[in-house]
Amino acid sequence: MNNGKKMVESKAATIVWFRRDFRVENNPALDYAISTRGEVIAVYIEYNEIKDEWKPGAASRWWCHHSLERLSDSLAKQGVRLRYFRGDPGNILPAIVKQTASTAVCWNRLYEPEEIKIEKAVSAALASTDHQAFDSRLLFSPGTILNQQAKPYRVFTPFWKKARSQLEVTGITLCTTKKNKMELNNQKRLSKECSLAELGLLGEHSWRSKLQNYWTPGEDSARKKVNRFLKHAIGNYDTNRDIPSVDGTSKISPHLHFGEITPAQIVYRLINQDLLYKNSISVERFLTELGWREFSHHVLWHFPDTTNRAMNHKFLKFWPNKPNQKYLKAWQTGNTGIPLIDAGMRELWETGWMHNRVRMIVASFLTKNLGIHWLHGAKWFWDTLVDADLANNTLGWQWVAGCGVDAAPYYRIFNPYTQAKRFDEKLKYINKWLPDRNGAEVTPIVDVKKSRDKALTKYKNSKTLSNK
């Protein structure tokens, strides 16, 4: 990975700009700042003026607030105070440099389209100040895994085959800078510095009270969750990962999104603890899931317009722009009358999370059986998931809708009844999230078979999909 420029020895202050890399361990930007042996000024900037429609949703903002809270505690143990600001990083960071007489600014890269724009603007604003960016969010920097024609992969399997082989050759290197506690020197409040509460991340949403029953954000929690998963669940991951009533997955996706732990830290443990030898099938399956995360970020980096447009342009006008509001509302609130769909949507609303197998099923139902544009589903997930990640969300919805990077086309349609029979045969998952129905049948808003046939007929007859 490209880890920035050659390190410069300095006794002066170095600013670390935290950007969804809310951890102390294996943090290249923080390690660099500490290694300069000068004062470390840690800052987080909430860019409220951002115009992008994919601003973090309510559930993500809840997580962000509490993750920052815990990051602040961890940094304090290192003798570093986390400072909060609101506004444009391109204006705020140069102002902090001036106020503190800092000689360098460093950060870890993010790869979403809007974040790339922000980073470019910051780099331009800091043209006269030493500034460095590091890669730590992925196993491989976007643009480094290409096919034989030096073009980006559009299908997962060949992408991961190449990435997996390179991973075996290059291995994983983690930051190892010793973090001795530093002496707090500069406690003076800076201009425009604010409190965590003043960032306005929590809002007035009721999730503030219920999400805490299911999640504990922060680096320590991420580490404990990985430990639990590797000790108790990874051995049966290959079979249990598809059963929504079983605690068979890692549930580390929100921790990865907020950078409380990195994929490199996880892969390092898998390899160094010889888990590949002990549980080869399940471990490889888990690595493949990390590979999907990797793939989604690489795809978005190469094709940034896919957040709002189908990658396969034949589908640009396939779905109506205005959805059937009755259907959409029923889907969002878990009132479609189809048990597995409603259980999944109720789980999402209650916990800010949904089992991955169920995510695919509810997405298929929305886009195929209800005929609603995948963007409406993507935006609902974006606002309600604690692990809402733009790359994963975009690729996942386009994959299920059949309009993205995928070898299989539109006619992949999940049947929610057969899926329930296969993965929730004893109805443990359904009954858990639909206790109000007590097993009683409810009339579905659409007939699954008829709506499937209608979707396939539309696909077959659509002029926008003509090969002419």
Same domain (yes/no): 14, 143: no
- Judge whether residue 176 has pLDDT over 90: no
- Judge whether residue 364 has pLDDT over 50: yes
Which alpha helices (H) appear in 306-389, and where do they start and end?
Answer: 325-333, 339-351, 356-364, 374-384
Same domain (yes/no): 7, 90: yes
- Judge whether residue 6 has pLDDT over 70: no
CATH number of the domain bearing residue 382: 1.10.579.10
Four-point Cα dihedral 222, 226, 231, 236, nearest 10: 130
What percentage of residues in the chain have a pLDDT greater than 70? 91
Tell me the C-alpha distance between 411 and 415, whole Å. Answer: 12
Return the SS3 of 270.
Answer: helix
- Judge whether residue 74 has pLDDT over 70: yes
Domain assignment of residue 215, yes or no: no
What pLDDT, in 10s, does the model give residues 208-235? 789 999 999 999 999 999 999 999 999 9
Domain assignment of residue 145, yes or no: yes
Domain assignment of residue 199, yes or no: no
pLDDT given at position 3 = 46
- The dihedral of CA 390, 392, 397, 403: what is its sign? positive
Instruction: Identify the top-confidence range among 99-113, 191-205, 266-280.
Output: 99-113
Domain assignment of residue 182, yes or no: no
| Alpha carbon separation from 393 to 241, 308, 319, 346, 369 (Å, rounded) | 19, 11, 19, 19, 20
Same domain (yes/no): 291, 156: yes
Same domain (yes/no): 149, 282: yes
190-215: average pLDDT:
89
- Judge whether residue 43 has pLDDT over 90: yes
Same domain (yes/no): 229, 357: no
Same domain (yes/no): 82, 228: no
Sorting pLDDT into bands at 50, 70 and 90, what band is 275?
confident
The pTM for the full model equals 0.93
- Judge whether residue 7 has pLDDT over 50: no
- Judge whether residue 137 has pLDDT over 80: yes
Domain assignment of residue 180, yes or no: no
| Alpha carbon separation from 104 to 52, 93, 99 (Å, rounded) | 29, 11, 13
Domain assignment of residue 196, yes or no: no
What pLDDT, in 10s, does the model give residues 305-345? 999 999 999 899 999 989 999 999 999 999 999 999 999 99
pLDDT given at position 10 = 44
- Judge whether residue 281 has pLDDT over 60: yes
Amino acid at 129: T
Q: Residue 284 is encoded by which pair of tokens? A: 């490889």
151-170: average pLDDT:
91
Domain-ending residue, one of 302, 330, 357: 302
Sorting pLDDT into bands at 50, 70 and 90, what band is 36?
confident
Helices (H) and strands (E) in the chain, counts: 20, 5
Sorting pLDDT into bands at 50, 70 and 90, what band is 184?
low
Same domain (yes/no): 54, 148: no
pLDDT given at position 461 = 86
Range of the domain at 147: 138-172+220-302
Same domain (yes/no): 130, 143: no
What percentage of residues in the chain have a pLDDT greater than 90? 79
Of residues 167 and 361, more confidence is placed in: 361
400-415: average pLDDT:
86
Sorting pLDDT into bands at 50, 70 and 90, what band is 1?
very low
Nearest to 142 by CA among 308, 23, 1, 353: 1
Domain assignment of residue 351, yes or no: yes
pLDDT given at position 178 = 62
- Mean predicted lDDT score pLDDT of the chain: 91
Of residues 11 and 44, more confidence is placed in: 44
Of residues 223 and 467, more confidence is placed in: 223
pLDDT given at position 185 = 54
Domain assignment of residue 466, yes or no: no
Domain-ending residue, one of 302, 333, 367: 302
Same domain (yes/no): 357, 446: yes
Same domain (yes/no): 62, 113: yes
Please tell me the number of Cα atoms within 13 Å of 422 on its side-chain side: 11
What's the domain count of the chain? 3
pLDDT given at position 11 = 65
E strands, 14-154, in order: 14-18, 40-46, 82-86, 104-108, 130-134
Q: Specify whether the CB–CB gap between 88 and 194 falls below 8 A.
A: no
CATH number of the domain bearing residue 82: 3.40.50.620
Same domain (yes/no): 294, 157: yes
Tell me the C-alpha distance between 17 and 259, whole Å. Answer: 13
Same domain (yes/no): 126, 8: yes
| Alpha carbon separation from 134 to 16, 82, 127, 192, 251 (Å, rounded) | 11, 20, 17, 27, 26
Domain-ending residue, one of 273, 302, 331: 302
Nearest to 404 by CA among 300, 323, 331: 300
pLDDT given at position 47 = 92
DSSP state of 210: H
Contacts of 262 (CB under 8 A, 6+ apart): 23, 26, 136, 137, 256
pLDDT given at position 172 = 76
What pLDDT, in 10s, does the model give residues 412-438? 899 999 999 999 999 999 999 999 988
Bridge partner residues of 83 (DSSP): 43
Contacts of 62 (CB under 8 A, 6+ apart): 201, 202, 205, 207, 208, 211, 352, 386
Amino acid at 55: K
Tell me the C-alpha distance between 139 and 211, whole Å. Answer: 30
Contacts of 298 (CB under 8 A, 6+ apart): 138, 140, 142, 143, 145, 152, 153, 159
